[in-house]
Amino acid sequence: MPPFHIVWLVIMGLVWLVWVVVLFRVLFRLLRVSLERRDAAGAGYFGWLRINFGVYRDFFVDPQFRSDRNRVLLLTGLVFAVILARVWTLPQARAGGTEFENRRAGTPLRRPVRYSLQMQRNVL
């Protein structure tokens, strides 16, 4: 594998790892808030579900969660940007290695080998 691909793989892995860590921290924070509200209300299981959905709704509108919400949105955008940058820098995209362009150039395409049931029985 060329070093360029290794660098991209490391960058994509690091961005994804940071994104996952932040998402889990936000989810555990929402769970903690939900459990605190449940204990304060003295609700049972179905009451906790109602409270839990309310906490998730509050995540999108409440100023208390604004920093978490902005962090998640920023990192999600960064994940998409890294993926799009990687796709844009693929050598096949610049060199024209699509199936349509290969057919236009007359390049023979490799077809997958299809094994019949009889061939599979002979192998087994």
Any domain includes 97: yes
Question: Which domain range does residue 55 map to?
Answer: 3-105
Say what angle helices 45-61 and 66-88 make with each other, to 10 degrees: 70
pTM over 0.75: no
Residue 93 lies in a domain: yes
Residue 34 lies in a domain: yes
Domain membership of residue 123 (yes or no) is no
Residue 33 lies in a domain: yes
Tell me if 90 is assigned to some domain.
yes
Residue 54 makes CB contacts below 8 A (sequence gap 6+) with 37
CB atoms within 10 A of CB 55: 20
117 part of a folded domain: no
Per-residue pLDDT of the chain (124 residues; tens, 9 = 90+): 678 788 888 999 999 999 999 999 999 999 999 989 888 888 777 888 889 899 999 999 999 999 999 999 999 999 999 999 888 887 654 445 555 555 555 555 555 555 555 555 555 5
Number of domains in the chain: 1
